[in-house]
C-alpha cells in the first residue's frame, strides 16, 4: 500500500502533456515493432500458358506451338509499395520453321529466369485485392529435347536475353495466403539454335497468363 501511495505521489508533478507524450511514444514503439514483424517475404507457385507470336525474317517463318508450364517466384517487400522479385519458369514447346531448305521442327525445354521490381497499385480497401505491375530482365534458355520427330541435326542449346513486363492482382483468402492472377509479356530474340539457316533475325513476343497461390512469411 505504501509503495502505491509513493508511486501516486511521484505522479503529482506529471502534466497531461507529459502523459500524452509517454503514451504516444509507447504507441510509436509498438507500431515500429509491428512493422518489424510484418511479413516481408513471399513465395508463389503459378500455372501458366505460353503463347508466342509468329516471326518472319530472312526468308524464314517461325511458329511456336502453344503450351503450358509453371512459374516459381520469390518476392521481398521493401515497403508496402515496392518489392524485388526473382522468378524461374519452365515450359516445353516446339518451334516450327519454314525455310527455303524445307520444313523443320525443334522441340525444346524453355527455362525462364528473370529478376526485377514489382510496384503495388493503390486500390480501395473494400475490393480486398492488391493489384501490381512489374518490370524485369533476365534470360530464356532453349534446350532441344533431342526427340527423334522434333529435332534438327546440329541444333544446340541457346540462351537469349528477355525483358518481362506485366501485372496482376493478389486476392487474400487467409492471413498469409492469397490467390494470384497475373499476366507477363516476354520480349526476346527468336531462337535459331545455333543454325544460321534458321535465323529470322527478329524479335518476338510471348504472352504468359498465369494463376496460382502465394504464401507470405
Residue range 72-95, pLDDT digits in tens = 999 999 999 999 999 999 999 999
Read off the C-alpha cell for 145: 529435347
The answer to whether residues 9 and 97 belong to one domain is no
The answer to whether residues 158 and 184 belong to one domain is yes
Average pLDDT over residues 8-23: 44
Residue 42: pLDDT band (50, 70, 90) is very high
The answer to whether residues 9 and 90 belong to one domain is no
**Predicted local distance difference test score (pLDDT) of residue 128:** 86
The answer to whether residues 53 and 149 belong to one domain is yes
Are the C-beta atoms of 184 and 14 separated by less than 8 Å?
Answer: no
Q: Is the pLDDT of residue 65 over 60?
A: yes
The answer to whether residues 22 and 128 belong to one domain is no
Residue 17: pLDDT band (50, 70, 90) is low
The answer to whether residues 97 and 83 belong to one domain is yes
Q: Domain tally for the chain? A: 2
Q: Is the pLDDT of residue 3 over 60?
A: no
The answer to whether residues 133 and 57 belong to one domain is yes
37 vs 183, more confident: 183
Average pLDDT over residues 127-143: 96
Phi, psi of 35 (to 5 degrees): -65, -40
The answer to whether residues 106 and 162 belong to one domain is yes
User: Cα 129 to chain center, whole Å?
Assistant: 17
Predicted TM-score (pTM) of this structure: 0.80
Q: Is the pLDDT of residue 103 over 50?
A: yes
The answer to whether residues 198 and 164 belong to one domain is yes
25 in the Ramachandran plot: left (φ > 0), alpha (ψ -120 to 50) or beta? alpha
**Predicted local distance difference test score (pLDDT) of residue 38:** 66
**Predicted local distance difference test score (pLDDT) of residue 150:** 80
The answer to whether residues 126 and 183 belong to one domain is yes
The answer to whether residues 14 and 53 belong to one domain is no
- Which region among 126-130, 158-162, 166-170, 171-175 has the lowest average model confidence (pLDDT)? 126-130
Q: Is the pLDDT of residue 124 over 90?
A: no
Average pLDDT over residues 32-56: 82
Where residue 193 sits, what CATH number does that domain have?
2.40.160.20
Containing structural domain, residue 5: 1-38
Dump pLDDT digits (tens) for 176-194. Answer: 999 999 999 999 999 999 9
The answer to whether residues 81 and 32 belong to one domain is no
**Predicted local distance difference test score (pLDDT) of residue 127:** 81
Average pLDDT, the chain: 86
| DSSP state for residue 121 in the 8-state scheme | -
Amino acid at each position: 500500500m505504501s509503495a502505491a501511495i509513493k508511486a501516486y505521489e511521484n505522479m503529482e508533478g506529471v502534466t497531461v502533456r507529459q502523459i500524452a507524450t509517454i503514451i504516444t511514444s509507447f504507441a510509436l514503439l509498438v507500431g515500429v515493432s509491428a512493422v518489424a514483424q510484418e511479413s516481408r517475404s513471399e513465395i508463389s507457385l503459378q500455372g501458366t500458358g505460353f503463347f508466342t507470336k509468329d516471326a518472319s525474317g530472312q526468308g524464314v517463318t517461325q511458329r511456336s506451338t502453344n503450351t503450358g508450364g509453371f512459374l516459381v517466384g520469390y518476392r521481398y517487400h521493401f515497403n508496402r509499395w515496392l518489392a524485388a522479385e526473382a522468378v524461374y519458369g519452365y515450359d516445353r514447346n516446339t518451334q516450327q520453321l519454314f525455310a527455303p531448305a524445307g520444313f523443320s521442327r525443334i522441340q525444346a525445354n524453355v527455362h525462364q529466369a528473370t529478376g526485377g521490381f514489382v510496384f503495388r497499385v493503390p486500390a480501395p480497401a473494400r475490393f480486398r485485392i492488391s493489384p501490381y505491375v512489374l518490370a524485369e530482365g533476365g534470360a530464356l534458355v532453349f534446350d532441344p529435347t533431342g526427340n527423334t520427330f522434333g529435332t534438327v541435326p546440329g541444333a544446340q542449346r541457346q540462351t537469349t536475353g528477355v525483358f518481362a513486363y506485366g501485372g496482376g492482382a493478389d486476392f487474400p483468402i487467409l492471413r498469409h495466403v492469397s490467390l494470384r492472377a497475373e499476366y507477363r509479356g516476354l520480349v526476346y530474340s527468336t531462337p535459331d539454335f545455333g543454325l544460321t539457316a534458321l535465323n529470322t533475325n527478329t524479335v518476338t513476343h510471348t504472352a504468359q497468363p498465369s494463376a496460382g497461390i502465394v504464401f507470405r512469411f
